[in-house]
Amino acid sequence: MLTVFKLVPYGDISLEDVASEIAAESSTGSNLKVGTMTPYSQGIDARVYKIDKEKNLAYIAYPWSMFDRVGNVQNILTFIAGNVFGVSEVKECKLLDVWFPPQMLSQYDGPSVTLDDMRDYLQNYDRPVLGTIIKPKIGLTSTEYAEVCYDYWVGGGDFVKNDEPQADQVFSPYEKMVVSVREAMDRAEDVTGHTKVHSFNVSAADFDTMLKRAEYVASVMKPGSYAFLVDGITAGWTAVQTIRRHFPNVFLHFHRAGHGAFTRRENPIGYSVLVLSKFARLAGASGIHTGTAGIGKMAGDAVEDITAAQNILRLRAKGIAFDQTWSEIPETDLDIQAAIKKEEELWSQGAQGIMKSRSDGLDTVLERKTSWRLINKTAPIISGGLNPVLLPQFIDTIGTIDFITTMGGGVHSHPDGTTKGTMAVVQAFEAWKNEIPLAEYAKDHPELAKAIEYYDKHGTQAHRAENKAVYNNEEAV
């Protein structure tokens, strides 16, 4: 396995020296040469194989046989994103990219359910899966929560998720929330004639409780109509892989709350959005949040976020330092070469082209989940301050329609409420699809017109003033 770290040493320590420290601490060594090493243990030392002095980059290779044998992502990160962040000689230690050899890929689960399966269930192939997060983030009763789900679904939305801290709170007991969601989903499906999906947060204090929540959801909801959301950073990688392995037939939604402590560009210590996303695919997440490329409310930028999105969606994609082919079969295999070529043709058409190529379903080997010794794709889940007005711009930025977008504030703050807010999102997509400017399309789509008027006025500044009034005033203090 290959890695590249941005390393900036303190004082006059050389880049070579600090790179050796990091290689030692992330493999077999410590800060002292121990007399207990053996020829075998030396055989699995990590190796610094390249240094780039201009950019302060150190390339470190790991014999992947040193990792826990049962396809354990947590173990790899304990090596390469563990103690190294505490090594005192480094001022900066950022893991920027990682490369998995084909033989290593075959040891890991990868996703079982993919966005293609959700598209089959929703019968939705030629647009992003339109989703929301129920807001307020927390505090609604189970029935109030379900009503907002209903309002969203009857507005034409596909997918609703629990917000990342929703669990089994006193005001919204877990089982009551699930039953209420099922009832609201049935009503919305009757009214609209369309299937709907809900992503339930199963993160919990312990694995038994987590599995119990997941089992309960499975006992109430129709197969295909639910996903399991795991707070992958705060609940952890073992929680992610436990759900992946216990429920191979359920869409695994990796929420990355807390990732900013590792990934923000201004953080000197941590890892990139790309690294997080690649490990989520290796671990088997069906979808992970990859950021709005700076278009929404969260820090992030196009290079990082879009690179991450492409690396989890495609069979082969360029990273920050490595080209990763997500095939357990070596690239020398002609079938793989043909599949990579087909994918490149597909992606060269951009989002409009990809949309047009699949309006009646998925028919290419790359677009349909396959057991053909590939690590299946992971869907980018795009959230964070998006609203209908920003959707067309984001689609053109990411260059595909193959993602789930979840807008919370961007739907439930619409002046005419959730259902109209959802209609505005659907209309914004239709405007993009027909290549009509939003303002033009809004002339005969009042819900979108209202959204444009509102979100143009209620950018982040207004948002801050509103939040201050609620969350930070004398009374609150």
3-state DSSP assignment of residue 382: strand
Pick the closest to residue 157 from 182, 134, 183, 180 (CA basis). 134
Rule CB under 6 A: choose which of 383, 397, 400, 422 binds ligand CAP: 383
Interaction of residue 231 with Mg ion, rule CB under 5 A: no
Least distance in Å: CB of 84 to Mg ion? Answer: 11
Interaction of residue 447 with ligand CAP, rule CB under 6 A: no
Interaction of residue 164 with Mg ion, rule CB under 5 A: yes
Q: Report what 294 binds from Mg ion, ligand CAP, none; CB cut-off 5-8 Å by kind.
A: none
* Residue 226 identity: Y
DSSP annotation string for 77-143: HHHHTTGGGG-TTEEEEEEEEEE--HHHHTTS---SS-HHHHHHHHT--SSPEEEEE-SSSS---HH
Least distance in Å: CB of 135 to Mg ion? Answer: 9
Distance of alpha carbon 208 from alpha carbon 201, whole angstroms? 15
Rule CB under 5 A: choose which of 97, 109, 163, 367 binds Mg ion: 163
For Mg ion, what does the binding mask look like between residues 260 and 299, x meaning CB under 5 A? ----------------------------------------
3-state DSSP assignment of residue 42: helix
Residues 63-102 within binding reach of Mg ion (CB under 5 A): none
Helix ranges, 158-301 (H): 174-192, 207-220, 237-246, 260-263, 273-283
Using CB under 6 A, which of the segments 316-324, 343-351, 396-404, 405-413 binds ligand CAP?
A: 405-413
Residues 256-285 within binding reach of ligand CAP (CB under 6 A): 256
Residue with the two structure tokens 């354990």 = 72
Interaction of residue 21 with ligand CAP, rule CB under 6 A: no
Of 156 and 350, CB closest to ligand CAP: 156
From residue 269, alpha-carbon distances to 93, 116, 279, 466 in Å are 5, 36, 18, 33
Of 136 and 248, CB closest to ligand CAP: 136
Least distance in Å: CB of 423 to ligand CAP? Answer: 17
Interaction of residue 385 with ligand CAP, rule CB under 6 A: yes
Active site residues: 135, 255
Least distance in Å: CB of 383 to Mg ion? Answer: 7
Of 188 and 411, CB closest to ligand CAP: 411
Of 96 and 391, CB closest to Mg ion: 391
**Phi/psi at 173 (5° precision):** -55, 140
With a CB cutoff of 8 Å and minimum separation 6, the contacts of 22 are 5, 7, 58, 60, 84, 87, 90, 93
Query: Are 159 and 411 contacting, i.e. CB atoms less than 8 angstroms apart?
Result: no
Distance of alpha carbon 60 from alpha carbon 22, whole angstroms? 9
Using CB under 6 A, which of the segments 112-120, 132-140, 225-233, 451-459 binds ligand CAP?
A: 132-140
Query: Are 211 and 235 contacting, i.e. CB atoms less than 8 angstroms apart?
Result: no
Of 158 and 164, CB closest to Mg ion: 164
Helix H or strand E encompassing 5: strand 2-9
Least distance in Å: CB of 99 to ligand CAP? Answer: 24
Rule CB under 6 A: choose which of 25, 117, 158, 163 binds ligand CAP: 163
Interaction of residue 289 with ligand CAP, rule CB under 6 A: yes
Of 298 and 329, CB closest to ligand CAP: 298
Interaction of residue 389 with ligand CAP, rule CB under 6 A: no
Structure tokens given for 78: 């304990």
Distance of alpha carbon 445 from alpha carbon 428, whole angstroms? 10
Using CB under 6 A, which of the segments 182-190, 289-297, 309-317, 443-451 binds ligand CAP?
A: 289-297
DSSP 222: P
Tell me the residue nearest to ligand CAP as measured from the CB. Answer: 408
Rule CB under 6 A: choose which of 8, 269, 298, 329 binds ligand CAP: 298
Rule CB under 6 A: choose which of 117, 158, 164, 367 binds ligand CAP: 164
User: Nearest 10 degrees: CA dihedral of 16, 21, 22, 28?
Assistant: 130
Least distance in Å: CB of 359 to ligand CAP? Answer: 28
Using CB under 6 A, which of the segments 94-102, 263-271, 291-299, 425-433 binds ligand CAP?
A: 291-299
With a CB cutoff of 8 Å and minimum separation 6, the contacts of 117 are 224, 251, 369
Residues of this chain that interact with Mg ion (CB under 5 A) are 163-164
